[in-house]
Structure 1
Amino acid sequence: MPIVFIHGVNNRKGPGYDQVVGTRDALFRDVFLAAAGLPDTGVINPYWGDAGVRFAFNLDSVPTGREHAVTLGSAGQDSFFLLAAAASAAAPDAPLPDAVLLTLARLDLDAALDLLYLAAVHVAEGDEAQSVALAAPLAQYALAHRAAPPPWLAPTEPPTLVDDEQFIRRLQEDLQAAEPEPVGPPVVRLGFIGEVWERVREGVDRLHHEAADFVGKSAWNAVRELLVPTVPRFLGDVFVYLEGRGSTSDPGPIPDRVMAALQEGMRGRTADDPLIVVGHSLGGAIAYDMLSRFCTDTTADVLCTVGSQVGLLEEMKVLAVSDDDTAGRKVAKPPNVEHWINVFDYNDVLSYKLEPIFADVIDYSYPSHDLLRAHGAYFGQPSFFQRLGVRVQEVRGR
């Protein structure tokens, strides 16, 4: 099944970029497609970040309070700083530095499993096999315990679980017990002494080291340090795209690249292999512009806009097909889009609903529980791919 993923703002090639893309593709293949009940024919990733905004002084005008942390991409040397801040701020009470995961798991198991996965991936040094080996089992475990957490996680007197090492051991035992025996060629397994769990422990150790800096720190300080530097690039990318979007006869550089990817996906579309278009953030608005105006001969079986500003931009009437005459009336879904799913997160102030604005769109809320990194959190969490796959299967079955 061809998937075209259109990234949003704040994406630039650099240290860690290829690992982020490889890990995201692996999650699409091994979690999303399995949940959607669809075959794998690859992910197409058009890159347009280098055509976005450029800052003459490298954002030296932005006050952050922690200047070395201004890494605006989705990966890099400050990844653990971001993860630790998000984990520490998510808990209602300041967690002990060596019990960040355990504290978070008792509040929200999905969030803790996603954080464990992200910490492990960040130290895997691009080892896609290890990322794949961990993602699907964690997503399945979270789904199996959606109604109720495992009994061993409940607080007891005297306490039986006091730190993250004990939490990892119990989780590891559950996953190992549920792991089927391999059939055919050897595969990377989740065994107790496997490299995968070594990476988990290494990642959690680094998380503990960074989390110590945030225990007792005011939430506002963390928010300012982590969120303020992203706003200029978000606004800049939006302005650059709208100003340089061009027309159908003379498209700008960003539409030109995305159209080529959509056409490639269209060539791989068959009756059995639908075309799924996923747009994150501004990528959702770009996807809508392309399908509604620039690429009307491309049929998207499912359009998924995630953490996107399509609704806001339509209210402002700045999308490619926006028409002031429709003010107050719902806008029709593009006829070449069979199904449209929109995902927003209440924690993500850059995500917007679509059902009040567009006809024949389904809004779904997704709780990332990641207040500080909500806008970029979706595609790093295995549970998100699991839930999105289930929703895609549901809408296609209607």
Structure 2
Amino acid sequence: MKKQDLNFFGAAKDKNVIIIQLESFQDMLINMEVKGQEVTPTLNGLVNDSFYFSNIYQQIGAGNTSDAEFLINTSLYPAGNKPSSKVYENKIIPSLPRILSKEGYYTSTFHADNVEYWNRIKLYPALGFDKYYEEEFFGKKDLVGFGPSDEVLYEKALEELTALNEKHERIYAHVLSMTSHTPFELPKDKQLLSLPSKYHETKTGNYLTATHYADYALGKFIEGLKQKGFWDNSIVAIYGDHSGFHPKPEDAKDKKLAEELLGHPYGLVDRFNIPLLIHVPGNHKGENKSIGGQIDIMPTITNLLGIDLDKQIHFGQDLINYPNHNLLGMRYYLPAGSYINKDFLFVNREDEGRGQVFDMKSKTTVNNNSEFYKEGSESEQKKETILKLLNLADYYLNNLPEKDEKSF
């Protein structure tokens, strides 16, 4: 498709770029209510005022949150059984920060954790960020779990973005939340959701409480972006890094509570489904039900910015203009060769002689799945395609040039 024929190509041209990664957020939270209370009122409001992609799936490997950062900024498959931040720490990786730097953007990433965790101290230079802000910048105020609360993260990030905006014509900021991290245990003053007694001291209740607070803090950040003039001059993308709620087989009470909330048994489709919302100033909004993955976020954003990726190797696709026939790979959390498309989530269990298949519409298992594992079947062909894509990504990344040691 020619650039001039692409829908929304350049709709956010020359706008600031703010991408927010929500810790452990799953799409099932969107529009969920408990006792008449919205779990995520901030995100629910954005659904009506943004591009909302409701069928997006995590594709992280062993690097978890840091692999989500890698995927969003490269549109390349992560390493799999080892964190990408370790495997590719000395590479010069083609990335969104490098693309935007060429377009005159100052690029930065904000995370209130220690920068050495997940080897981010090497990941960020490999991705080409101009600057990172970490634990030392955010301080020790209002500690919850791994570090300062999301309210502190957003408050200090907004202050710095305002200062950067005065020095630079355009900015790209990747902002990573943290308070909704497992085990989802918040102090009383941050437990803002009033839950029925059956949720007390359950994983389900803790998860809903933590994500409700994260949504509340996000709402304060968005209000700040509006007050400082960013909202009308920025493309703001919000997505979940990975699943957070995955009860063990023995957690019968939590499984029952989840089933009551969802109206169907909780399974892998629910677990891996993450939200993606992209707000663009203007009348660009509506739900998009096309299947996509984290690997597709960068090409979708560059299309909105009017940036052509034809000369850059990437494995994702623009979700707005190529909504059909997507085939997504995942490994580590699923065996290599597993895939997701618009019809099925296929779990490759070749070593065990059998696997699982989930129907994407009903989100339940396909009981008679023997046809999926027959040699020469359409499913086996998709599996082989995914294995080839993973191998190509590995080969490409392993053969990238290495960088000189660099510090910020």
Quick check: TM above 0.5? no
The TM-score normalised by the length of structure 1 is 0.28
- TM-score relative to the length of structure 2: 0.28
More helix by share: 1
